[in-house]
Each structure stands twice: as structure tokens, then as C-alpha cells.
Copies of this chain bind each other. A is one copy, B any other.
């Protein structure tokens, strides 16, 4: 008695999580449907009972990755003010994040990939990016010294810092530049 609604939901979730892993690690084009399905413990024929196309899966996977990703996870760190920023930045601008083992941020891992894609994919990225800014803004704007410019600059630096770290071949430099971004972002968000 498989094939219940619940069974289907479970399969769908497994596919989604495999897709997140593959897409974020290898990018959209290099990831095949067969690979995702195999990783989810199914065969590729079953795919189309859950999603209408690879493109649709990409959108869903991106959303799922953001919801369960590193950025979101560090948002509720129980702290306030500058300690809160420190927690978020520390969790994001981090070599473990760059290595990608544990729920990386799709905004940083897929930037370039997204730019060349159809508008519904870019739409999703835009929404998630706005969300990221909103979360930081919410905390920062209590402080009248912080401007919207500060927020945009910080998120660009976070995404850029992680993306560049991932692209380079020099772990020492990667660590160094992440640290520099963290320090500078902290200064921007907490200076007088």
C-alpha cells in the first residue's frame, strides 16, 4: 500500500532535497534529472509525476534552499543589536558555508547561474534577495544611523564574499577574504 498522498509528499520532499544539493553544488546545467532521482532513491521516469519540468524544479528547489538555508537558520539566534549582526555574519561569511556541506545559501551559490535564465527564475531570485534585505533591515533600521545604502552594500558583500571564496583555489585567501568581509560588514552595521 504505497501510493498514498503522504507517500507522494515524502517522495517529493526527497527529490526536492536532492535537487537542492545537486543544483547548489554543481549548478543547473551540470545536474541531470537522473542524478537527482537516483540521489533520491528513485528512477528518472518517476520525476514527472512530481514536477512538470526541470525548470519548475529549479524554482522550487531555490525557494526550499532559502527557507532551510544558512541565512535563515542564523536569523533567529536569540540575540539583539550588534550581537545579532555578529551572529548572522559569522554564520554566513564562513568557510564551512563555502564548502557547502550544510545547507548553503542559494543567493550566493547560484548568482551567476540565475542571470542567464528565464524571467520566472529571476523573479524567484529577486523575491528571495529582497527577503534577505528585509530581514537585515528590520534589525538595522532601529538605529537611525543606518541607511538603506548600508543594507544593500552589506548583502552584496555577503553574497559576493561567499561566491568569490567558492570560486578561488586558495583556501587561505578564501578564509582571509571572508574575514575581511565580516569585519567590514560589522563596521558598516554598527559604527557611529
In the assembled complex, the CB of A160 is this many whole angstroms from the nearest CB of chain B, namely 2
Q: Which of B27, B112, B183, B184 contacts A163 (CB 8 A)?
A: B112
**A112 and B168 contact, Cβ closer than 8 Å, known pairs A152-B177, A153-B184, A180-B152:** no
In the assembled complex, the CB of A146 is this many whole angstroms from the nearest CB of chain B, namely 12
**A168 and B116 contact, Cβ closer than 8 Å, known pairs A160-B159, A177-B156, A180-B148:** no
Interface size for A (C-beta < 8 A) is 51
Which chain B positions have C-beta within 8 A of A156?
157, 160-161, 164, 177, 180-181
For the residues of A in contact with B, the DSSP-based class is helix
Binds B, one of A36-44, A65-73, A120-128: A120-128
Question: Considering residues A27, A148, A149, A157, which has the most beta carbons from chain B within 10 angstroms of its beta carbon?
Answer: A157
